[in-house]
Structure 1
Amino acid sequence: MERILFGDNQFFGVNHMSEEKARAQGMRFQDIKEIIRTIDHAYDAGIRVFMCTTHGRVGEVCDHFRANPHRYPGFEFYPCMPYAHKYANAVTEHGMTGALSKLLPGESKIGALVKGGLSLARMDMENLAGMLIDAEMQMFHDLSTPVIFIQNVVTDLVLGLGAYDAFRMFADHVKAKYDAEPGFITMNLPKLLDALESVGIKNPIICANINKIAFRTSGGLEMYERTIAEREFRPIAMSIFASGAISPDEAVEYVCAQPKIKSLLFGASSRGNIQSTVRLIEKYDAQYHRSQLPSGTAHA
């Protein structure tokens, strides 16, 4: 994995501290050119991964990257699925079967269920899950997607239900179909790690809130620090700034001081904030003796 990952919350009106700021960002980024311009700033700062939801507008971003491959050598996407609002809206508008018809790929979408050997009455969930993953991945065709994530809304629902085999289904499908590693986003890092190990998923990639004030973490700061230090997995830290509750310098120093954190995920809406965050990560990585490679090529 790359050391620094660029996220997309700011593009779609998501801010966990300020609804006003979220609305303002959502209005600004209604223009796809603004989204592309901001990703360009991240690329020019040396970032080579866009970790993004499967929001419909990300399809427009993918179209741009396919049309301009020479502008973005080495660039990768880390898709995060599902985009829950899309499914909720489809079920509300069309019902369960109608939603499947709208969301599954192919000319005959309900026919695809039959061809895939799925009987809705039998609830053949593995085939259905595979087809839904394929539907989400359509927008990323011909782009590099070495890691594919389950969003926390599904990860944590599966955790609550105890249906851990669903994690194995997802992992097996993305490995076989896309030659990609499975990733898991969660609000409960220790519990998820236990669940993944119970179904034979070793050294998993897990993205979780990791920050100095335990903002939106389940289990508390001490539990997270102990889990990261002692257990075998590849952590990605998100919400490192706790939605602005921690100063950038203090926030980055905290996560960089933990050598087992593999990657840092952040979102920003301006060239200056992107550049300053990259500089802080490079500064504290050097201070804590993380091996350095030229910007844009550093791997964790």
Structure 2
Amino acid sequence: MKLDRLLFGDNQFFGVNHMSEEKARQSAMRFQDTGAIIDVIDSAYAAGVRSFMCTTHDRIAEVAEHVRTHPDRYDGFTFLPCMPYAHKYANAVTEHGMLGALRHFLPDEGYLNAAMRGGRAFAGKDVDGLVTLLVDSEMKMFRGLPTPVVFLQNVVVDLLLGLRFDAAFSIFADHVRSRYGAEPGFITMNLPLALDTLERAGVENPIVCSNMNKLAFRVSGGTAAYDEVLATRRFRPIAMSVFASGAIPAREALEWVRARPQIESIVFGASSRQHIEATVDLVQELWGETIAR
């Protein structure tokens, strides 16, 4: 599959801002109502955005249900889930207890069957069973919706990189492909190391999302190392944090990306129709193509 040039992210909906805690707090307050999130997604859809790269936050489940019940309004709209959302599990155990949390998250294939699969995995230290159960529980909210790429979040990817647990990447990739007909994606804060590990794990031409920007903001190892892997390694790069949380003017940031044609897609977040339309217009001007491919 060919990824869209622009992917719409969800950080702004859940109080994530890497430059300003105050802006993050204000954003979280604004989007307490799921209707406010849907309004912004509708603005992105109207501007031509068709790919929503999202966490598996409980509020995204409400967005997914809204799209599922209004299919005519979201023709061609796809979700690109990023998992796991760790806070969700901790909060569920606190609120519902361990058994209640299990009932909430286990896949809809029969509670007993799924619980037995998970129990056997824990008892036998079956890594395959644990990984696939985690993926299935996270994908539950997207049932019936198109999910062409499923991402493993950087909090897990980078932990596995540190542990040198290469097999987990191939297990995740194989399960996502076989059960959901999707491409596996990986988010990382250390692109060179991730590519080395995925190659050892046998994941060919992987989709990998990482920070890439002119200021080397949150770019592990610096832009020179990233430029080297862009030029020499076979993978499908997605750039995030291209605006460095607003520190780089939009045109300057996107011109820097445009000078690196290997970068296939850009993830961006915006909370207003004006910012979404301005980004879409600028990308279409610089690349000379529509943002949805």
Same fold (TM over 0.5): yes
| Shift in Å, 1:119 | 4.2
Measure how far apart 1:296 and its partner are: 5.3
Q: Is 1:181 paired with 2:187?
A: no
Distance 1:102 1:139, change over 3 A: closer
Match 2:257 to one of 241, 255, 258: 255
Q: CA deviation at 1:274?
A: 0.5
SS at match of 1:284: helix
Contact 1:113 1:119 in 2 (8 A): no
**Aligned partners of 1:117, 1:99: CA distance in 2, in Å?**
15
TM-score, with structure 1 as normaliser:
0.91
Which region of structure 1 is more displaced relative to structure 2, 16-25 or 97-106? 97-106
The 5 A counterparts of 1:1-300 are 1-90=3-92, 100=102, 102-106=104-108, 109=111, 111-115=113-117, 118-286=120-288, 292=289, 295=290, 297-298=292-293
Cα separation, 1, equivalents of 2:266 and 2:80: 13
Preserved contact between residue 100 and residue 110 of structure 1 (Cα < 8 Å): no
**1:277 partner letter:** T
- Provide the residue aligned with 1:289 in structure 2: none
Matches of 1:156 and 1:198 in 2, distance apart?
Answer: 15
Q: Secondary structure at the match of 1:121?
A: helix
Read off the aligned partner of 1:148 and give its amino acid letter: V
Cα distance in 2, alignment partners of residues 93 and 69 from structure 1: 33
CA distance in 2 between partners of 1:236 and 1:256 (Å)? 13
CA separation of 1:204/1:275 partners in 2, compared to 1, >3 Å: closer, same or farther?
same
**What is the aligned-residue identity percentage?**
59
The offset of 1:281, in angstroms, is 1.1
Matched position secondary structure for 2:124: coil
**Distance in 2 of aligned mates of 1:267 and 1:213:** 18
Deviation at 1:297, TM superposition (A): 3.6
Counterpart of 1:77, as a letter, is F
CA distance in structure 1 between the aligned counterparts of 2:190 and 2:98, rounded to whole angstroms: 29
SS, match of residue 120 in structure 1: helix
State the alpha-carbon separation in 2 of the partners of residues 33 and 104 from structure 1.
27
**Cα pair distance change 1:40/1:91, threshold 3 Å:** same
Q: Distance in 2 between matches of 1:237 and 1:119?
A: 35
CA contact (8 A) 1:13 1:22 kept: yes
Q: 1:212 to 1:102 in 2, by over 3 A?
A: same
Shift of 1:87: 2.6
1:61-112 Cα shifts (integer Å, max 9, x gaps) = 0111111111111111000000011133446678878754553235864652
Shift of 1:121: 2.6
What secondary structure, in the 3-state scheme, does the structure 2 residue paired with 1:265 have?
strand
Give 2:123's aligned amino acid.
A
Number of equivalences = 291
Please tell me whether the aligned partners of residues 113 and 128 of structure 1 are also in contact (alpha carbons under 8 angstroms): no
* Counterpart Cα distance in 2 of 1:80 and 1:119: 23
Cα distance in 2 between the residues matched to 1:119 and 1:221: 41
SS at match of 2:122: coil
The code of the aligned residue for 1:34 comes to A
Shift of 1:209: 0.3
- Unaligned regions of 5+ residues in structure 1, if any? 287-291
- Farther-moved stretch of structure 1 (104-113 vs 74-83): 104-113
Unmatched segments (≥5 aa) in structure 2: none
Task: State the 1:252 CA deviation.
Answer: 0.9
- 1:111/1:262 Cα in 2 relative to 1: closer, same or farther (>3 Å)? same
The answer on whether the counterparts of 1:208 and 1:238 sit within 8 Å (CA) in structure 2 is: yes
**Is contact 2:240–2:268 with CA below 8 Å preserved after alignment?**
yes
Given the superposition, is the C-alpha separation of residues 190 and 92 from structure 1 closer, same or farther in structure 2, using an over 3 Å criterion? Answer: farther
Q: Distance in 2 between matches of 1:92 and 1:194?
A: 38
Distance 1:45 1:171 in 2: 32
In structure 2, C-alpha distance between the alignment counterparts of 1:21 and 1:37, rounded to whole Å: 20
**Residue 108 of structure 2 contacts residue 140 of structure 2 at CA under 8 Å; is this kept in 1?**
no
